[in-house]
Amino acid sequence: MVQINLNHLTTWEYLNFKGSFRDYKEVIICFLHAKRLVASEKDILASERSASMADIMPVYPERFINLGRGQWLDIWANVPIVSTDPFFDTLFAYRVRQLDLLQIGQFLQCALDAGLTQRFISLLLLKHGSLLTPLQLQAVNLWSECIKQPEYKVPSGFPVIKGRPKRQKGDRLTCLSQEQTTLLIHYLQKTQITFSGDYLNNNKAAQAFELLTGYSAEKIRKSLTQEQLQEISDKNNLTALYNSIIKLSIQVNQDITNKSIK
């Protein structure tokens, strides 16, 4: 998952790029308007434990934008920024420029694993390259050259099982659908039954489950992003996964009982 937090982003820009902070601030105002992230004066005063905005403004001179009628924009709001958000491309570039040279490759790789394509990342940074230093641009180019799979492709030597039918929607060849299988991977990692993170990225997990289930590794990989996991975690999919795990536990319990009898 691409980790961008508005509060952290704004804090870094304010402390380290005051000369261009006004330009950054205009982008954030547009972002907050597009997301309709408006804070009420009542909530701000309660959060800051203050009697009036007049007391708060000198403490945070660049933080709040008055929209009138008791409504404000908070450019330091603790808000996550995801790839489907408006102005994500610009804010992603701002995040990259805040990174140390040694961190850029790792951050871009995480973005790739989270579902962004190398082409998208490259075009994004080309569009907003003026925000980066020449050395940062070199670090981005170096990362691009080191990537062996700019778009997901089945690796050479990937096993092909002869005679196994190609998966179709609703074919019931396995008890879980593709979305439910993706959720299974998520919970296997969450409960530490399998590796996760640096030890098992989304590409490798998807490849493993293509072998196990026949579902497309590319589709599984794209569904393993945080945004997609939230989308497919509906009641029907979670219930189907839960019921399958119950069936599994019943089978294991039966085998335990049989062992006890012997």
Torsion of CA 254, 256, 261, 262, to 10 degrees: 120
Residue 146's Cβ-count burial label (10 Å; 0-12, 13-18, 19+) is exposed
* Domain boundary residue, one of 122, 146, 170: 146
18 and 91 together in one domain:
yes
- SS3 assignment, position 157: coil
Residue from 6, 3, 4 nearest 77 by CA: 6
Contact 179, 223 (CB under 8 A): yes
Q: Using pLDDT thresholds of 50, 70 and 90, give the confidence band for residue 13.
A: very high
User: Does the pLDDT value for residue 150 go beyond 70?
Assistant: no
Are residues 55 and 64 in contact, defined by beta-carbon separation less than 8 angstroms? no
Give pLDDT, residue 246.
Answer: 94
| Domain closes at, from 90, 123, 146 | 146
Q: What pLDDT, on a 0 to 100 scale, did the predictor assign at position 149?
A: 46
Q: Are β-strands 39-40 and 64-68 bridged in parallel, bridged antiparallel, or unpaired?
A: unpaired
- What's the pLDDT tens digit per position in 225-235? 888 999 999 99
Enumerate residues 6+ apart whose C-beta is below 8 A from 239: none
142 and 99 part of one domain: yes
Mean pLDDT of all residues in the chain?
88
Quick one: pLDDT at residue 117? 84
Average pLDDT on 90-116 reads: 90
% of the chain with per-residue pLDDT over 70: 93
pLDDT score recorded for residue 155: 54
Calculate mean pLDDT across residues 118-123. 86
Instruction: Tell me the three state secondary structure of residue 244.
Output: helix
**Do 14 and 126 fall into the same domain?**
yes
CA distance 64 to 58: 11
Question: Across the strands, what pairs with 142?
Answer: none
Domain that holds residue 119: 6-37+77-146
Residue 159 is predicted with a pLDDT of 61
Domain assignment present for residue 256? The answer is: yes
Q: Model confidence at 161, in pLDDT bands (50, 70, 90)?
A: low
Looking at residue 159, what DSSP letter applies?
A: -
Question: Measuring CA to CA, how many Å separate 169 from each of 166, 174, 177, 215, 235?
Answer: 10, 11, 8, 10, 19
| Residue 151 banded pLDDT, cuts 50, 70, 90 | very low
The mean pLDDT of 238-255, rounded to a whole number, is 92
The average pLDDT across 194-222 equals 88
